[in-house]
Chains A and B, each alone.
Chain A
């Protein structure tokens, strides 16, 4: 709940007492000054109606984390967000905008990107070497103000070397500031790993979780089959954290493939 502060008002003291009582009973966040809440930034629709109804979309100017394992739809959703981010309404009228993918493993699939609606002529793939300063590279890219959204596929690539891991911890607040200033949406996709691998590779995921304005956890629900033929899968999305709305909601999505997306014609 929000309230507006009244200064030099005889009722102010009584208001303060009431506020203190409520916050003591329900917690400090139950009642916060209106000026303390940041306005919600513009959102990029995901293209999944249920998800957009739930959270509105992916916030621009902030970090979003999509985590999950296996066929859970996180990359498909991320690709569709890139396609929507290119859409005219998110930039100068009548002009498509550029988006980017940090593609360290060189595993992005242009064919599928195009099927998800991404305009390839307005998409840049960045493939720096692991030894290069990745956080600084991302910062420089964001600050150019020419990318409406950047997808990091895969989040763990940001910290493959000890130097990059250190710079990530150090540079993340700076990166968040750059995102807010430029309005660029940074979307990190993270594959959940076994505990031993997380231990060895360090805490990239906890670090991103801590700083993400939006964190959605994806979980594979079931395979979709028709006459014993696989045509897609269902996944469940759980909002772990949402800076501008309540978290904890869950929604299901369906991802269906057309016949030619499996075997070639």
Chain B
């Protein structure tokens, strides 16, 4: 295999700042359709604003933060422009997230020199299409994960080519947060002292599988540079639609959403085991007056079984005009792809965390394991005590 990953870092932020240059240099947080932070400027990040916060939390962290809604249609247009520029090469293409896409170079370049030439062409096309402020970086390898990691290491307008011989060596020092694992898994690994791909790759395979399931096993393979996933835009085989139990017919959105959500859990869990999320799904609604509606929901980023997907589905159901009570509902996951690794800021190996660890170790020497840190792992768990976990530090 031969895969290039083209990445424009901070795509949403840069697009917005290009349209509003007066916002440059200010703490800025862009809110998505779900009223959560989708993109953060470095100035806001310094003050503690993070992705997936809501507006109130962002303001509490940074009272001066500029909260602005994302111009979604404009961003989608630029995203299509990026994909269009890459598609002109005629090579198979797979969009991953905002400003990031994979290109399959297997048919045109399988060696480093050949890949370099192709990647340079791709980079020039993207730069010409998007303009100076959105400079791409490109990574290349035999697998998608390493190609994406390489794109992350490359500076803007640069290419990072990873030879298959150097794959494992290249991945060793990189942060484990490159893997799209659930936050709880990443937290557990951090508490175990596993912070790099090399450390994760060196764990016993059976233990990883036993503790973290099929998703952990797959992630470990990626950490070893073994990623055999092909570059493909759509599922080859569209699965059968799932029937959502609606009995009796109802016009209550919340009840329908609950049933829909419960029905989606098994396929979403199956996708999560492959570190994938849903990119497109179809809802087929039949009403008691014999009318029917079909909703195709597409997401720029693949979504897992989390609050973002649920909020989107809730919004779609509410926006739809219901002519009568809902009699029947079928849902089909049409498209899936790799989840986005969002947790880059979770375990920032910065001075302040090191200071906390030093403090904890100093006090533990005299008082034992009395210091703890906490994390909210499930914001909407019905049992309040299960929403967060505590872990001793300094021991």
Contacts and interface: CB of A to CB of B under 8 A. Distances in A.
Direct contact of A and B (CB under 8 A): yes
Interface in A92-151: 94-98, 108-111, 113-117, 119-129, 132, 137, 140-141, 144, 146-147
B60 A47 contact: yes
Nearest to A128: B370
A50 interface: no
Nearest to A122: B352
A124 B359 contact: yes
B363 A137 contact: yes
Q: Interface size class for chain A?
A: 35 or more
A17 to B, nearest CB: 51
A98 B359 contact: yes
Nearest to A125: B372
B285 interface: no
Interface string B96-118: 00000000000000000000000
Given A123-B373, A123-B374, A265-B380, A95 B352 contact: yes
B198 to A, nearest CB: 23
A119 B61 contact: yes
Q: Interface size class for chain B?
A: 35 or more
Contact of A120 (B62, B350, B374, B393): B374
Contacts of A111: 376, 379, 384, 387-388
Contact of B376 (A88, A120, A265): A120
B363 A140 contact: yes
Contacts of A122: 352, 356
A114 B388 CA distance: 11
A86 B57 CA distance: 14
B231 interface: no
Given A111-B384, A116-B60, A144-B359, A86 B48 contact: yes
Given A83-B61, A87-B62, A98-B355, 19 more contacts: A86-B48, A95-B352, A96-B48, A98-B359, A110-B374, A111-B376, A115-B57, A116-B60, A119-B48, A121-B346, A121-B375, A122-B356, A124-B373, A125-B372, A127-B370, A128-B367, A141-B359, A147-B359, A264-B384
19 contacts: A87-B62, A88-B47, A95-B351, A98-B355, A109-B388, A110-B388, A111-B376, A115-B56, A117-B57, A124-B373, A124-B393, A125-B371, A125-B373, A137-B363, A137-B367, A140-B362, A144-B359, A264-B381, A265-B380
Interface of A: 47, 80, 83, 86-88, 94-98, 108-111, 113-117, 119-129, 132, 137, 140-141, 144, 146-147, 260, 264-265
